[in-house]
């Protein structure tokens, strides 16, 4: 692989690039002091040529790692053939991707968009229209405290965390909140104007808290009993991330609606809302996305799904995820700094005994490991699904050295 990017001059130092960024981009992110030039597999290199083991994975996005050859070939081939038309016309990659996902899920219909936030917006609209037809106009949706469903106005309205909500209030009405893993509280919150429940199988941004073993089954039963739709936000947990293709398989239930994004395109922007036939109530004109389901995005996502299947990555994630948890468990036994370890597959959170996650993250980066923090106490590790046991060992060794250094 070339030492420099083919499309820009990387001979400039990182400080030059960060200064240029500060003059032109809106300040919506607190960035790490790494200017990334290229990536391969589970590693990235900055403009100074320094390598990092990437256990951030584009925020649970890079399913196949960086620069996967199959994806690069698909992008080149499809871009040379057809990038965008309009959803007023049929395109083959969109139909083929939809068929692939339907065949491997309990759903019957798909709407393609560009992100997880858009996928959840579509789910909310679908539920409201279904409520008009089947629940006398019911429109309210119950969400869990500590959940995260996106940054649009409606998805913020479905997010209880005041830190996300307050700067943009007043937000759209129609959402109620209950404690996670408490079906009694959920039952008490259901009223005549309730149409649906939206949950994450694992609260991925809220601290890596999985649903309890019985919770999702109890919620499914409650929704059936009360005539509500169950929407599962699998934007972060779907596409093999937790050791099954869809996380809800591990709880033995099927939702009425599921939302996807992140790992679906392994870095290429695409989202999807999948629904069962009985609640697929959209008609022409109800919803749309100019770029959603465009040929390039769908061709890439189809390649990603085929690669995940052909490489048997779901089983690999289950195995290497267990190994990662075991290694972290061994580390916890030796380090009082580690208070808890949570997650499934390759969606793992490590709670620290003290509020020093930013300090630990910085020290990890200095030793060549990139991850992120969900709070002042919680580190998150979401490497590409292709990560090896050897790379897990490397990451654990770096974390061990960091915690040992104090």
Proportion of the chain above pLDDT 70, given as a percent: 98
* Same domain, residue pair 143 and 284: yes
* Same domain, residue pair 259 and 125: yes
Give domain status of residue 215, yes or no.
Answer: yes
Residue 106 predicted with pLDDT over 60 = yes
* Same domain, residue pair 276 and 326: no
What is the Cα–Cα distance from 380 to 359, expressed in whole angstroms?
14
Residue 1 predicted with pLDDT over 80 = no
* Same domain, residue pair 235 and 368: no
- Per the prediction, the chain carries an average pLDDT of 95
pLDDT of residue 5: 46
Residues of the domain holding 282:
70-310
* Same domain, residue pair 184 and 306: yes
Give domain status of residue 77, yes or no.
Answer: yes
Strands 271-275, 257-260: pairing kind: antiparallel
* Same domain, residue pair 216 and 289: yes
For the entire predicted model, the pTM comes to: 0.95
pLDDT 10s digits, 21-75:
999 999 888 889 999 999 999 999 999 999 999 999 999 999 999 999 999 999 9
Tokens 């009425």 belong to 256
Q: What is the average pLDDT across 322-337?
A: 96
pLDDT of residue 3: 47
Number of domains composing the chain = 2
pLDDT 10s digits, 376-406:
999 999 999 999 999 999 999 999 999 999 7
* Same domain, residue pair 272 and 402: no
Q: What is the average pLDDT across 94-103?
A: 98
* Same domain, residue pair 370 and 305: no
* Same domain, residue pair 253 and 265: yes
* Same domain, residue pair 300 and 321: no
Angstrom CA distances, 116 to 5, 104, 275, 326, stand at 29, 20, 15, 31
pLDDT of residue 7: 54
* Same domain, residue pair 155 and 182: yes
Give domain status of residue 388, yes or no.
Answer: no
Residue 6 predicted with pLDDT over 60 = no
């Amino acid at each position: 692989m070339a030492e420099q990017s083919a499309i820009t001059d990387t001979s400039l130092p990182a400080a030059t690039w960060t200064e240029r960024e500060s003059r032109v981009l809106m300040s919506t992110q607190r960035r790490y002091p790494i200017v990334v030039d290229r990536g391969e597999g589970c590693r990235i290199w900055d403009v100074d040529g320094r390598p990092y083991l990437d256990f951030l994975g584009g925020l649970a996005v890079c399913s196949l790692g960086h620069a996967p050859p199959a994806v690069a070939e698909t992008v080149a081939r499809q871009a040379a053939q057809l990038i965008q038309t309009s959803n007023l016309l049929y395109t083959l990659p969109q139909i083929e991707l939809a068929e692939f996902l339907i065949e491997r899920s309990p759903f019957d219909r798909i709407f393609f968009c560009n992100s997880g936030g858009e996928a959840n917006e579509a789910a909310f609209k679908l539920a409201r229209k279904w409520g008009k037809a089947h629940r006398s106009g019911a429109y309210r949706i119950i969400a869990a405290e500590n959940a995260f469903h996106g940054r649009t106005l409606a998805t913020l309205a479905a997010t209880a965390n005041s830190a996300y909500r307050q700067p943009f209030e007043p937000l759209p009405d129609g959402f109620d909140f209950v404690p996670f893993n408490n079906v009694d509280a959920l039952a008490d919150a259901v009223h005549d104007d309730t149409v649906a429940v939206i949950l994450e199988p694992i609260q991925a941004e809220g601290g890596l808290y999985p649903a309890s073993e019985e919770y999702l089954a109890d919620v499914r039963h409650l929704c059936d009993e009360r005539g509500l739709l169950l929407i599962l936000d699998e934007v972060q947990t779907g596409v093999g991330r937790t050791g099954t293709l869809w996380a809800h398989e591990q709880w033995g239930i099927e939702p009425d609606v599921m939302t996807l994004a992140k790992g679906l395109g392994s870095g290429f922007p695409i989202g999807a809302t999948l629904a069962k036939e009985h609640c697929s109530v959209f008609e022409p004109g109800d919803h749309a996305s100019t770029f959603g389901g465009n040929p390039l995005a769908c061709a890439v996502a189809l390649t990603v799904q085929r690669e995940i299947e052909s490489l048997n990555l779901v089983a690999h994630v289950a195995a290497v995820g267990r190994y990662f948890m075991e290694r972290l468990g061994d580390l916890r036994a030796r380090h009082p700094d580690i208070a808890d370890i949570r997650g499934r597959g390759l969606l793992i959170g490590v709670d620290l005994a003290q509020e020093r996650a930013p300090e630990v993250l910085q020290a990890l980066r200095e030793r060549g490991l990139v991850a992120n923090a969900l709070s002042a106490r919680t580190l998150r590790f979401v490497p590409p699904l292709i990560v090896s046991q050897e790379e897990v060992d490397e990451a654990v060794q770096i974390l061990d050295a960091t915690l040992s250094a104090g």
